[in-house]
Structure 1
Amino acid sequence: MADAAGGRQEIWVEKYRPQRLEDVVGHPSITERLQSYVDRDDLPHLLFAGPAGTGKTTASIAIAKEIYGDDWQDNFLELNASDERGIDVVRDRIKDFARTSFGGYDHRIIFLDEADALTDDAQSALRRTMEQFSENTRFILSCNYSSKIIDPIQSRCAVFRFSPIDDDAVAAHLRDLAAREDLEYTEDGIDALVYAADGDMRRAINALQAASATGDVVDEETVFAITATARPEEIEDMVTEAIDGDFTAARSTLDDLISNRGLAGGDIIDQVHRSVWEFDVKEAAAVRLLDRLGEADYRIAEGANERVQLEALLASVALNADE
């Protein structure tokens, strides 16, 4: 678990990052198509879209390692558009890399992470750069929302949509990592990690490493404590209390989650949304809850007070309890 040279703890996300496309977890159809591009030596510009922690960056690095081998770092430029949003990064850094002479390979790869953070002007400049250096440069763009990428860029790329990773795949990968690190764990601990991750493999691995650092068995209690995640039954109790008209009890549960457990309002909304159809409530109540949930989520995103909005959500549900 410790670094042999300095005794430092490695970050498991990097330590166990897949080195080949075939090792990328959760997207067999995508990796098969990408592998065919590599095998045919016919790599187009690529656009990877999907939530965080689903393998977009990992797949990009794996492509570079398969094409360039040990020379991959000399032929692979990684930029983060959320840090370098302006048009200058497109005109300067990308062009400088694209123009640099290199030998032995037909093209180099520029990986632009969080490309949906680029301004429209920067994206327009990027489109022209993609045209100008198409003979010797391939672009891989990564984003959360492909709709924020201008159409001229989308039309120049093969688009791959990375969905949240299946729970079974996350669980299997976590068990494999636990075995490699010789960790003691329980199945309810793995289930808790999968629930907290919600399809995000990076979050799952980081949570496993954090839970292992306690020195105890990785179990449900440890996982929920270190991930600041409410147990599904706590969320269900809070919502059920409100639906039953007991606003005081629902508010008390909410207060415990926010004040004592440190959960953010957005996290609570996400957990309620994920679980609403699993609650044992009538369909009309679930629909009403979702309606108010969407309104609260929007208001919080616009800067409203989280606690006020969540209490208003529970109050609205409780007021309609008898309908």
Structure 2
Amino acid sequence: MAANFFQARAPTKKKQAKDKESVPSPSLQPWVEKYRPETIDDVSSQGHIVSVLQKTLTSTNLPHMLFYGPPGSGKTSTILALSRQLFGPDNFRARVLELNASDERGISIVREKIKNFARQTPRAEAIASDGKKYPCPPYKIIILDEADSMTQDAQGALRRIMENYARITRFCLVCNYVTRIIEPLASRCSKFRFKPLDSSSARDRLEHIAAAEQVPVNRAVISALISTSSGDLRRAITYLQSAARLSSATEPPTPILPGDIQEIAGVVPDAVVRKFAQTLGVDVSLIASGDGDVEMDDVTSSTTTTALRGFDLIRETVRSLVREGYSASRILIQLHDIIVEHPTLTGRQKSGCALIMAEADKALCDGADEELWILEVALRVHKAVTS
């Protein structure tokens, strides 16, 4: 009897040890997950959505929801934070099913995994172990992340499940492009549009994370993070963590510079783009100077510049950009921003340059040669700007 008792207990101890080992160390955890909002009050720059969802915490009357907006704007973080506030840590796993629809998007997943979870009646739960009282409404939540990647058949099958089990299950569809959700499915949900994070909210969040991780960064570095991430806070936090790892890899740690952020993000340094624009005849002295500290190679040095003029200078500058390995699409994006935001170029000049770059973007998407199209754009922009 005693032997059977100890044999039964041994696997339990092993399982507990295994579970303990599987918990990741905070130092190895991605900062995106480490600093994910715990409550919906912590969600940045989405005031209207937060105020609406706060009312559901008091009424516990949650409709089917459709969250859509650009990447990194807080869609998944918001529904996860709301679910934790509704059910608490003890009931979260039993009451919430989170699926990434880009990986599991076939009709079989809808008919089996989602339907089986949706049809289960939630049990009445006891008070949470942390001593706090949670609303714990009598329904479950199914979160379908990247729902716009689901097939048409899967979305059609999901429509009937949402109808049949609405009393005990609520759905939250999370997507980037609301137009890819079929209309019968979208009409059953309350829509919430997430906006890209504004610069002040992103700056506050990045400064908070840098201070918590004891990473010394100045305002120029934060500005570089915001500009390279284009409103995607998740991407900005990832860039910050990568820069911090590279900085601490040396002894003593090297300071983080804006150029480091641009290199990690894969963008062309500001100094390179400005010099390229200047070669095309754009007056860059009227544009605020960037913080990039990378210079072009000796092709565009002052000695060579005096020896080359017109077509030859533009051709050698383009060759230099290609030799450095910069992406053609990235060069066109940054050159486009310089021209469109230029204070003295006329509307006709800007629109002409934009049409040229649109044509180049289409050609590059079709697999055209990058060097030839950068040269084509450079020559035509030079003609539009100087004429």
- What TM-score, normalized to structure 1? 0.89
CA deviation vs aligned residue, 1:4-45 (integer Å, no higher than 9, x gap): 975852210000000100001111111111221232111111
Alpha-carbon contact 2:122-2:138 (below 8 Å) kept: no
* CA distance in 2 between partners of 1:86 and 1:120 (Å): 9
Aligned CA distance change for structure 1 residues 190 and 252 (closer, same or farther; 3 Å): farther
Partner of 1:122: 154
Percent identity reads 35
1:1-323 to 2 correspondence within 5 Å?
8-70=27-89, 71-104=91-124, 105-213=137-245, 214-215=247-248, 216-232=254-270, 234-242=272-280, 246=310, 249=313, 255-257=319-321, 259-260=323-324, 262-280=325-343, 281-323=345-387
CA deviation vs aligned residue, 1:39-75 (integer Å, no higher than 9, x gap): 2111111111111111011011111111111121221
* CA distance in 2 between partners of 1:170 and 1:254 (Å): 35
Q: Secondary structure at the match of 1:79?
A: strand
Aligned CA distance change for structure 1 residues 311 and 108 (closer, same or farther; 3 Å): farther
Amino acid paired to 2:260: T
* CA distance in 2 between partners of 1:99 and 1:117 (Å): 24
**Superposed displacement of residue 240, structure 1:** 4.6
**Superposed displacement of residue 96, structure 1:** 1.2
**Superposed displacement of residue 249, structure 1:** 4.7
**Superposed displacement of residue 222, structure 1:** 2.1
With 160-169 and 303-312 compared, the bigger mean Cα shift is at 303-312
**Superposed displacement of residue 303, structure 1:** 4.1
* CA distance in 1 between partners of 2:314 and 2:87 (Å): 57
Amino acid paired to 1:264: S
Aligned CA distance change for structure 1 residues 100 and 145 (closer, same or farther; 3 Å): same
* CA distance in 1 between partners of 2:311 and 2:160 (Å): 58
Give ranges in structure 1 of 5+ residues lacking alignment: none
* CA distance in 1 between partners of 2:322 and 2:200 (Å): 30
Q: Secondary structure at the match of 1:32?
A: helix
Q: Secondary structure at the match of 1:204?
A: helix
* CA distance in 1 between partners of 2:273 and 2:83 (Å): 43
Q: Secondary structure at the match of 1:316?
A: helix
**Superposed displacement of residue 241, structure 1:** 3.0
Amino acid paired to 1:221: G
Structure of greater Rg: 2
* CA distance in 2 between partners of 1:116 and 1:248 (Å): 48
Aligned pair count? 320
**Superposed displacement of residue 123, structure 1:** 1.1
Aligned CA distance change for structure 1 residues 54 and 7 (closer, same or farther; 3 Å): closer
* CA distance in 2 between partners of 1:10 and 1:256 (Å): 40
* CA distance in 1 between partners of 2:104 and 2:319 (Å): 39
* CA distance in 2 between partners of 1:48 and 1:255 (Å): 45
With 267-276 and 66-75 compared, the bigger mean Cα shift is at 267-276
Alignment root-mean-square deviation, CA: 2.5
Aligned CA distance change for structure 1 residues 218 and 145 (closer, same or farther; 3 Å): same
**Superposed displacement of residue 223, structure 1:** 1.5
Alpha-carbon contact 1:171-1:194 (below 8 Å) kept: yes
* CA distance in 2 between partners of 1:38 and 1:305 (Å): 56
**Superposed displacement of residue 136, structure 1:** 0.9
Alpha-carbon contact 1:38-1:67 (below 8 Å) kept: yes
Amino acid paired to 2:61: D
* CA distance in 2 between partners of 1:318 and 1:147 (Å): 39
CA deviation vs aligned residue, 1:66-109 (integer Å, no higher than 9, x gap): 11111212211111121123211111111011123421341111
Q: Secondary structure at the match of 2:70?
A: coil
**Superposed displacement of residue 219, structure 1:** 2.5
**Superposed displacement of residue 171, structure 1:** 0.9
Give ranges in structure 2 of 5+ residues lacking alignment: 1-22, 125-136, 249-253, 283-308
- What TM-score, normalized to structure 2? 0.75
* CA distance in 1 between partners of 2:328 and 2:62 (Å): 43
CA deviation vs aligned residue, 1:198-223 (integer Å, no higher than 9, x gap): 10000110111111112222331221
